[in-house]
Amino acid sequence: MLNCLDLVRIGLLRAETFQTAEITRRTLNFSLSSVAVVEPVYTGAVFSVDIDATGRYLLAGAGDGSWYIHDTFNLTGEIDHQKKCVSQAPRRVGHTSSINTVEWYPADNGLFVTSSSDGNLCLWDANNAAKPVDKYDLDEVISRHQINPCSGTMIAACSDGDVNLIDIRTGTAIQKLPETLTRSKEVCWNPANQYELMVGSEEGSLIEWDIRSTLTYRGYGLLEVKVARRGVRTRDFKEQVGLLQKAHDGPISSIRYRKDGMEFYSFGDDGCIRRWLSETSPLSEPLVCTLKYGRKSKGHGNFQIGISADTDPPLIFAPKGTSISVCDMKTCKVQKELVGHFKNVNCFVYDDKYQQGYSGGNDSAVMVWSGNFVSEQTYQQEKLNSAISSGRHGRQRRRPAATTSANQQLINLIDEDDFDEYEPASSASDNEDPSLY
């Protein structure tokens, strides 16, 4: 690293290249942090986590309908620290069932949104946890929601297979996307285009909608299958059959875009992560690569994958049972497994600012993952050596001042942990008591 800094100073290496290489090195060295721990305040499984735009506050939603905010900054002056819970919602306030998605407002950490299996989508003021600022009742289970990162005023929510668009300025659901051949389960906005919304379904299809015209959409898939159009059967109902492009052989649990919006990644229950090009010419193939890492463990609702935006190659953090797979999406290989949870992992979020990761699972815990393994191990060893040294000196300070020479010899040998070499003196001086030996 020091050699690279010298190259940057003399102009032989671009600063951006060095920064990308260092971020990639830290991310690939992820391991369970030995100096940072999230305060254990959870009484249920953790289904969703999110980090705010400043990289300081961690938001987590639990299975008992409560949410928690943790301050991730270390202001204690010690390397060993606990990420304290600074705010939380009482049980059964806002939600009466498990929270499936939590999300900070993109431009301001004073507002965040939660959605639950009880069909309610709530807007909260981070400075006042007494009750939600606004509440939308969609009547059915909300599997996923996301705030439009460009406009910040539109929320897309999947409820009972339908996609509802909510404008938080007017406080109403302004639009519902037309019924497709499948039931929607996952939504994700394009961060580079405020009008493009990607929708994943339970049948494995990917549809990119233009919300300005509900007739404009694009499908992504590997093969076309015939399916019946879903709908309510009435007396005049006629079954409609259409062609559906399937991107996965099973439900889609998570979709994530790259920062520039040119690529996105889909995570399915079939154990595959696929990399797609979102804007390509008609002659090019949108599918870039497929990574098969094993079937996803059965869990509650959608899983949440993490993506590192500033690394080269792009890395995906996908829950896999009790571990997290770090996937290289350029070579389509699993680089390593992050092990630390005792039960299945449900969600992961990557902090781009400080190169840290946070994961939540069914063991009612949020784990911290850091790339500073060597420095943390060095600190722990120095701390252990310091404790041993201070313990020895502490024992010496607590001893009485008046001791005989024989007792002092025994004390010194005990301090040196040299019990085997200690032998009682064969004779004592005239002024010493022989009974001491």
- Per-residue pLDDT of the chain in tens (437 residues, 90 and over written 9): 667 777 778 888 888 888 888 899 899 999 999 889 999 999 889 999 999 999 999 999 998 889 999 999 998 888 888 999 999 987 677 888 899 999 999 988 899 999 999 999 999 999 888 889 999 988 889 999 999 998 888 889 888 788 889 988 888 777 887 666 678 889 999 999 899 999 998 888 888 888 887 666 788 876 554 444 444 333 333 344 455 678 888 889 899 999 888 899 999 888 889 999 887 545 467 888 888 876 655 666 678 999 998 898 889 999 988 999 999 988 889 999 999 999 999 999 999 999 999 999 999 999 999 987 666 667 767 777 777 777 665 554 444 444 445 444 444 544 444 434 434 444 444 444 444 33
Task: Provide the pLDDT for residue 403.
Answer: 41
CATH 2.130.10.10 intervals, the chain: 20-371
Residue 210 has a CB neighbour count (10 Å cut-off) of 14
Angle in degrees, CA 422, 425, 430, rounded to 5:
150
Task: Provide the pLDDT for residue 315.
Answer: 93
- Residue 375 has phi, psi (to 5 degrees) of -65, -35
Question: Secondary structure of the chain in the HEC alphabet?
Answer: CHHHHHHHHCCCCCHHHHHHHHHHHHHHCCEECCCEEECCCCCCCEEEEEECCCCCEEEEEECCCCEEEEECCCCCCCCCEEECEEEECCCCCCCCCCEEEEEECCCCCCEEEEEECCCEEEEEECCECCCCCEEEECCCCEEEEEECCCCCCEEEEEECCEEEEEECCCCEEEEECCCCCCCEEEEEECCCCCCEEEEEECCCCEEEEECCCCCCEEEECCEEEEEECCCCCCCCCCCCEEEEEECCCCCEEEEEECCCCCEEEEEECCCEEEEEECCCCCCCCCEEEEEECCCCCCCCCCCECEEECCCCCCEEEEEECCEEEEEECCCCEEEEEEECCCCCEEEEEEECCCCEEEEEECCCCEEEEECCHHHHHHHHHHHHHHHHHHHHHHHHHCCCCCCCHHHHHHHHHHHCCCCCCCCCCCCCCCCCCHHHC
Task: Provide the pLDDT for residue 435.
Answer: 42
* Residue count of the chain: 437
Residue with tokens 């102009």: 11
Of 101, 102, 136, 131, the closest CA to residue 119 belongs to 136
- Distance, C-alpha 208 to centroid of its chain: 25
Give how far Cα 395 sits from Cα of 391, 392, 411, 412, Å: 6, 5, 10, 11
Fold for 20-371, please state it: Methylamine Dehydrogenase; Chain H (2.130.10)
Query: For residue 93, with 0-12 CB atoms within 10 Å meaning exposed, 13-18 middle and 19 or more buried, which class applies?
Result: middle
Residue 283 has a CB neighbour count (10 Å cut-off) of 5
